[in-house]
Amino acid sequence: MANPSDADHSGDFQRGVAVKSRPKVARPPMFRVIFYNDDYTTCEFVVFVLRRYFYKSEPEAEQLMRSIHRSGSGVAGVYPRDVAETKKRQVEQLARSEGMPLRLSIEPDSVGSEGD
């Protein structure tokens, strides 16, 4: 005969809610796209590429262009590495085709990766 303490507890586990755990997905490392000031690239061209490739509004692009001109460099945006590299390449190719020496770089964004 079965022990009374074991009385019909076999179904308890079948009535519970099944919880499927999901693996935690790490965010990709982010990279800043940096513009550098030079004496030949026109302000209008910088504003144009900030609007076209970095989706800045006219006032944002104008303000960022002035900041780059005053300080020597400025961050246009922060993206996953492949996106940052693509934007850098596209802008530099367009600049060369227009006869402008505009230079960009990408560097790791330490702000986005801390605390995650």
34-50 confidence digits (pLDDT tens)? 999 999 999 999 999 99
pLDDT of residue 113: 47
Beta carbons of 74 and 68 less than 8 angstroms apart: yes
CATH, residue 58: 3.30.1390.10
Mean pLDDT of 47-74: 98
Q: Which of 87, 106, 97, 107 is nearest to 45 (CA)?
A: 97
pLDDT at 114: 44
The pTM score is: 0.75
Q: Is residue 18 part of a domain?
A: no
Q: Residue 60: what pLDDT? A: 98
Full domain range(s) for residue 45: 39-116
Residue 4 has a pLDDT of 55
pLDDT digits (tens, 9 = 90+) for 80-113: 999 999 999 999 999 999 999 999 999 999 875 4
Cα–Cα nearest to 102, from 45, 63, 31: 45
C-alpha distances out from residue 109 to 26, 86, 103, 114, Å: 15, 17, 19, 9
Q: What is the pLDDT of residue 36?
A: 98
Give the pLDDT score at 66.
98
45 in any annotated domain: yes
In a domain, 70, yes or no: yes
Task: Identify residue 15 by its one-letter amino acid code.
Answer: R
**3-state SS string over 32-89?**
EEEEECCCCCCHHHHHHHHHHHHCCCHHHHHHHHHHHHHHCEEEEEEEEHHHHHHHHH
- What is the rounded distance in angstroms from the CA atom of residue 116 to the CA atom of residue 111? 10
